[in-house]
Amino acid sequence: MPKRIRREIREMLKRDIAMLARSPLLSEPLRFIIKKHGKTMRAMQRQSDKSGGGRIRKVTATVFAVLPEFKQARIESPDSWHYAITDKTPGFDWQGLREGQQVECTVTTTDLPRVIEVRILEPKNDNPV
């Protein structure tokens, strides 16, 4: 994520926390929790900025929808994470996917997961010839 966008998100977060902390509708204990939690969230954001955007892992997933009107295919991993393969996914054409296909993907595990690489898996043939 570009530094400018990260900086804008941090500024919005600071403003929102400050606004909540000043709200007359909140009790004093709740105001304290919001202030403390806001500091924790900012620290977590700084740490994720330093780490380079999160971890990367390999996932075997199933295509459950191909959406030409949105120029994407949606996939679901066995642990129920959903990902989108779009025209922006490097080195892969989403239009070649069909519902029910198995794919192996390299994905990031951040708040906004992203598909980095895709490979179509061959279907398993249970009936030997």
pLDDT in tens, 71-128: 999 999 888 888 999 988 888 888 889 999 999 998 887 767 788 889 998 876 655 5
Which residue is listed with tokens 């239009």? 95
pTM of the model: 0.53
Contact (CB, 8 A) for 56 and 109: yes
User: Rounded CA gap, 45 and 61, in Å?
Assistant: 29
Task: Please give the C-alpha separations between residue 27 and each of 17, 21, 59, 66, 102, in angstroms, as whole numbers.
Answer: 15, 10, 45, 48, 52
Whether residue 57 has pLDDT greater than 80? yes
**Three-state secondary-structure class, residue 88:** coil
